[in-house]
Amino acid sequence: MAEKPQSGTLFGVPYNFERPSLKRLVSAYWKPGDDMLVEKPFGIGYTLNLANWRSWVVLAVAGVMLYLERGGSSEEFESESEDEPVEVVVD
């Protein structure tokens, strides 16, 4: 019986199900000179390249959004969240 491939691409999306080593994990997330997205060391798709400054911007924005969602928002957002009826006009 033919063995299924452990890595490759499917519809242009990379996959890799080979058992990752520590060296391969570190080198996958830190690739200076590459783009912001790199192939995942294990699984399907892409991940952030932490050697690229744009990845840190994405992580910072995601962190701020998570902080605001969990209740660290300002008074401006709190006044909108009161339980008041909302009027919707449909033409």
* Widest pairwise Cα distance in the chain: 65
The number of distinct structural domains making up the chain is 1
Is residue 37, in this structure, part of any structural domain at all?
yes
Is residue 84, in this structure, part of any structural domain at all?
no
Residue 60 pLDDT greater than 90, yes or no: yes
- The identity of residue 88, as a single letter, is V
Q: Which domain holds residue 25?
A: 7-75
Is residue 91, in this structure, part of any structural domain at all?
no
pLDDT digits (tens, 9 = 90+) for 4-40: 788 888 898 999 898 888 988 888 899 998 999 999 9
Is residue 1, in this structure, part of any structural domain at all?
no
Is residue 81, in this structure, part of any structural domain at all?
no
Q: Which residue has the higher pLDDT, 57 or 91?
A: 57
Q: How many CB atoms lie within 10 A of CB 50?
A: 17
Residue 80 pLDDT greater than 60, yes or no: no
Contact 14, 46 (CB under 8 A): yes
- The structure's pTM equals 0.63
Q: Is 37 helix (H, G, I), strand (E, B) or coil?
A: strand
Phi, psi of 14, rounded to the nearest 5 degrees = -75, 150
